[in-house]
Every structure is written in structure tokens, then in C-alpha cells.
Amino acid sequence: MRPVPQTPYLTIDLGRVRTNFHTLRAALPDARIRYAVKANPAEPILRLLADEGAAFDVASIGEIDACASAGIEGHLLTFGNTIRKASELAQACARGVRRFTFDTEHAVTSIAEQACGSSVECRIAPAFPSSVTPFGHKFGCAPAEAAGLLTRARQLGLRPQGVCFHVGSQQLDPAAWELGIRCAAPVFDALGDLTTINVGGGFPIAYATGAPELGRVADSIRSALTHHFGANPPQLVVEPGRVIVGSAGTIGCEVVSVRTGTDGRRWVYLDIGRYGGLAETENEYIRYRLRTGRDGDPAEDAAIAGPTCDGDDVLYRRYPLPVTLRPGDRVEIDEAGAYTASYASVAFNGFPPLPTYFVNSAHTGGGPGREIVEPLAPGITRNWSLSEVICEAHTEFQDLVIGRTDQGVALFSDGERQSTAFSQLIYHEALLVPALLLADRIERVLVIGSGEGVISQLAVSAGAAHVDHVDIDREAVRLCAEYLPYGYTMDELRRAEKGLGPITVHYCDGWGFVDRSTASYDIVVIDPPDERREPAQHNRLYGAGFLERCRNIAGVVVAQAGCPTLWRNTSLQWSWQRFHETFQTVVYFGSDEHEWAFLSGLPAAVQDPIAAMSARLPTLTHRPRTIDAESLVASTVPPKSLRAHRLVPARQPPPAR
């Protein structure tokens, strides 16, 4: 066991940091998160958040350097502090920072001189309700001035990106964010081409006095965006600090002395005070929750002070503490992960800065692990051990879990594994490559299902100029982009949702999309979850009626068709029948490195499709990493049980509930 360190010290639970980040992302799934480095710039925190896909809001060259030490590149940083020297702008630009915040014409001119061509956001300062630690009038311009400043920025060669504001640190009124969005909307109307609204931070945590739930703040932001911007709001950006790291930190300290003061009151002195990391107790703005080993004893109010010789080093004038508290007793200060270590003085009165220790509850037995039991066939299951549940959601169409396994990060739908980082490329190439080899050309591709986005990416890699990706479950697709290390990134998905690039995402029913389609495609890919014996919404995508509709608009139709193993090959037998009833040419492909089989169908008869596929393989623009000439031929031989399967009228999938 690690020895208990000498007090005072701060312990940060990185598992809790990760959980807090995921909670915020789930509350505002459309938001781009820029972590406010000032809250806690510790390198393990920065590395963790970078791995989770965060960007970063920095306030100084020192914070830029801290990010660089953590391996974070300059293009992920926004220099949000509007008070900067010209030399600091130049240094930031030299380090790769290309986004800056401003609130005066002088600042615009300085950015243009030192970092020409950079993106900029104009910070406005509406009359926000007072927060626990307000900014007052230190930052921001009047909202009415913002349009003129942004226009001036464009004239100077900068790229106006949007409007930003900050409602004040530890803001307890959710309506404050609505006010900021309301005041920003006219600026967007005036310029016409702004893309980003940055609602800053200020998200509160409870401490000892309580705070509104994060969901209430998120609801206020979402409803305000809808009210003031309609169905097409700008890209939302948030810059949280406290809500990410605050509850992840606990300060361990000790009672140094207890006495009756000259005022007749009890004074309790700790070995940490305002200069050692508790600066936010100034004016008792932040009222931390204190715990002791004597909390069951009778309690009375006491004055709590720090150890320095400064008369202002007093934390609270009245705070209930056990009357039995004695020198040497341990005290734990909860929710102290934000603005403590970063506020601690270097050596006031000779006291050392507050040291920080890191634990990770997700990897020390306290984290949210899980075992998922996946049914394979009657009497057969497969157990998946998840060391961490990264994301869990109950969407309108499925129960979705994303977790860490020994096979890498894995995606589960309704208890069935859909993909893993270890084997996903094998699966996706086995699904798409045969169709690529059978198609006369590869220009237009329709993908139905396959929410991870890998198939769409592979199609573009193979030369497709236009890919329509249809998925009914918007929430699941976005969660995959947020949490899976493969497939769409969030930036790629946002562009695809807007049709900016070769991929366009449509959130709708695949059957309805195909039925309404007047366009033709070189390839149609059907990749829903496995067909089920019981009614399920996606079952009809396996039916002959849907295959016929796809055949009418496609040169090649390829589908995930089931598993070839004897104990669970019923779906494959059904698919085999339907494909042969619908297409003149049917090609089987069962990867020898995966458990799924795929069927490709062509409306016309092809003399020797395997020979044609083999001839085209060396010329394919996308170079498969998991399929070569030998495995291509071997994988196109259907199992004997399937070849011997008698074709009878195909069983139609049960209807959706």
C-alpha cells in the first residue's frame, strides 16, 4: 500500500474526470468541448481529455506550453484570454495556435498583425445575473459593438468564426445562458456567415450549498438555440473547467491548532489556507464540504483559518465542525479538483505549493466495469468482460453500450457485439470489398445502417464521389463518433450531417429512403444488426421486398447475411434463399478471420464473378489490408451446409413491434 503523503495534498481521480467529461458530452452531444486549462492544468488531466477528443481553452503562453508537454498540438487550442501582449500573440502563433478571442478593436488589430489569417471569436458581455464568482466588467464588449468588431476583423485579414460569452464562474441561474444566446443572435444576423456560438463555461457543481443539475443548464442552452436560431443553429462550443475536474479532487489536510480567539469564538487552524490552494474561499464565495473522522460528534460553528501569518488567510467565519476536533485530526475537503492546485502560491511564507497525486478509479477496482453475456444460439452464450463502460445509452431503437475489452473498445447493441477495435476492419472490408470488385464503377454508394461510419469511409477511399449514409438512430451514430476510436470522428460526422464533402448522413428509415429514392447507385450496402427471430424494427431490412427495392436502384447490393457456423446459421440460410430469389448472380463471402458472412447480388447473370473479382483486386483504389488474392478466392466458397440447403419460399422476417 502506498504510504499516506504528508498533508496538505490534492488527490485527483482521473476516472471521475473521464466520467464527468462523458456526462457533459451526453448532456450536450452537439457541443464541441474545449477544456478550460486554468481549472487544473495537470498533465495527466490534459492527456486524458485529449484522448477523449477534447479541445482546449488556454489563457497564457504557460498554458500553451503545458498543453504542448502533454502532446497536444496548437490547432486544438483557443487563446481565450483577451488580455495579451503582442509578443504573446506572436509566440502563440509560432506554437500553432490559430484561434483567438477578442473584445476590442486594439485586440483585433494586434491579432491581425501577429497572427494574420487566424480565426477569431468576439466576446460579448451582456448583463448576466451575478454568479458565485462573477467577472464583473473585466471582459467583453457590449453586444451591439460585436458586429462592427467582427467586420473589422475580416477587413484586417482575420476569419470571423463566431461570438462567445461567459456567464460567470459557478453560475447558478440557468437562464444566464439563454440571455447570452439571445444577445448573440443579432450578431449572427448582421454578419450572415458566422459558424460558431461559444457559450463558455460557468457550469456549476454542488459543493456544500447545492447547485442546479447539469441537465437544467443543458436544457436552457438547447431551448435557447432552438428559439433564437431555429432548426439550423451554429456549432455549439462549451468551455468547461470546474464541472470536469471539480468533483474529481479531494484535498487531504490536518488540524494544526484549535483555540478560543480574542473574540470569544472557537478558531480551527488547518495546514492549508487561501494561499495554499483555497483562494476561492475569498468572501466565502465557494463553500467546500469538509469531512472529519469525528463527524458523528456534536458540532458547533467555528472560524476556519489557514496557517500563514496573513490576517486575510481565513476560509470561513462560521462553519459547523465537531466540538471534539483536535490538533492532528485529518480533514478531507471534497470537490476540490478545480482552481486549487492552479491557484496555490509558489512559496508564500515559505510554504510549498500544493502537491497533486493521481488515482484512476476506472482501473483500480472502483470503476464501472461490466460483463455482457451475448446469446449465440440456444444454450450457447459468449461473455464479454468490460474493464470500463465508456458510454451507455437507451436510444429509441436500441440499448447501446461502448466499453473497453481485451479486444479493444467494443460496441454492443441490445447485448450483442457489433464491432471491436481489434477486428472491425476485417468485418468492414469483408462486407464492402467484394461489392467493390463486382461493381462496374464506384462513384455513388448508398450505406444503410453501419452506424460506426467505417463503410462510408472505405467507400470514399475506394473512389466514391458521393456516399449517402442512412441510419435511423441519430443518437447511436453520434455516440459512436464520440466514443469509438474507429469510424467517424465528431468533426467528420458534423460535416457529413451538413453534406459538406463526399459523405452525406441521413437520419431516417432505410426502407423509406430506398422506397422514395429516384437516384441510382453503383453499390447499396445493407448493414443492420443481426436478424432476429423475435420482432425487431430492423428485421424488414433483411426481407425480399427490401432487397427488390434495393436491386431496382443499384448495380450491386451487398448485405450482412448472418453467421455460417452450424449453431447459428439460420439467418444465413434465410438470406441465401432471398438473395437467390431476387438476383441473377449471388456471391458469397465469409471472411476466414471473422464469424460473419456476406452476400452480394447483381440483377444480371455474370459468367464467372469470382474470376472477375480476382482480376480487379490489384486495380482497386482502396488497398485491402485484410484480403489478398488467395483469401479472396477461398472466402467465396459457401459452406457445404449452405450449398446443400434446399431453396424453398423464403421465410420473411417478423414485423417490427
State the catalytic residues: 309
Contacts of 70 (CB under 8 A, 6+ apart): 43, 46, 47, 50
Residue holding cell 456549476? 204
Phi and psi torsions of 568, nearest 5°: -150, 40
Q: Which amino acid is at 78?
A: T
For residue 203, give the nearest of 246, 235, 163 by alpha carbon.
Answer: 246
- Helix spans in 400-453 (H): 424-438
Q: What is the DSSP letter of 192?
A: S
The b/e string for 346-372 (b: 16+ C-beta within 10 A; e otherwise) is eebeebebbebebbbbbeeeebeebeb
Give CA–CA dist 348/306, Å, rounded: 12
The b/e string for 535-552 (b: 16+ C-beta within 10 A; e otherwise) is ebbbbbbbbbebbebbbe
Give CA–CA dist 46/54, Å, rounded: 9
Element holding 545 (H helix, E strand): helix 544-551
CA 194 to chain centre: 24
The answer to whether 434 and 587 are in contact (CB under 8 A) is: yes
Give CA–CA dist 153/148, Å, rounded: 9
For residue 161, give the nearest of 149, 174, 176 by alpha carbon.
Answer: 149
